[in-house]
Amino acid sequence: MTDPAEDVVSQVKCSVAAEAARKHGELRLRVTGLSMLPAIWPGDIVTVQAREASGLLPGELLLVEDAGRLRLHRLVANHTSHGEDQLITRGDSLAYDDPPIRAAQLLGVVTSIQRGAAGYAPSRRRSRLAWLFSSSSCLGTWVTRAALRLHTLSARKETLDGVS
């Protein structure tokens, strides 16, 4: 069960981040979720640049505001419904698309990902490895746990190597 006070704090943080993205056209934030594994890991820092929904291409990584939360998922499709642009997104490690969102909820597109000391541009293609994370709830959960454990051990080793 989640603490209502933590929910309020989280929503305020998301609201402040969304406002900063809209005002300044750029935002850097640390990722906390697992839905974009293996492309983006918890602790990665992403840079998001403001963009218009009309020029988006499938496969781009989008940051959107939805119900007081931020969601960073890959664009699956964009279309117009009832005269309004709608975006369909999905996390790489998820089996199903998210509900459609309005173009007004778009905060921007991920232009870079920083993991540790390395930085790189995001790929527009979902990796072949991503299907393991989204294949079935049992296999996906096992693969996710194993991958997170390896990632944690690797990050810990990097930290220790840097201190030597």
Number of domains in the chain: 1
In a domain, 159, yes or no: no
Give dist(CA 116, CA 159) in Å, integer. 9
CATH number (domain holding residue 54): 2.10.109.10
Show pLDDT as tens, one digit a residue, over the chain (164 residues).
668 888 888 889 889 999 999 999 999 999 998 889 888 999 999 999 999 998 899 999 999 999 889 999 999 999 887 888 899 999 988 889 999 999 999 999 999 999 988 898 888 887 766 666 666 554 556 666 777 777 777 766 665 565 54
DSSP run (H or E) holding 145? helix 137-163
In a domain, 90, yes or no: yes
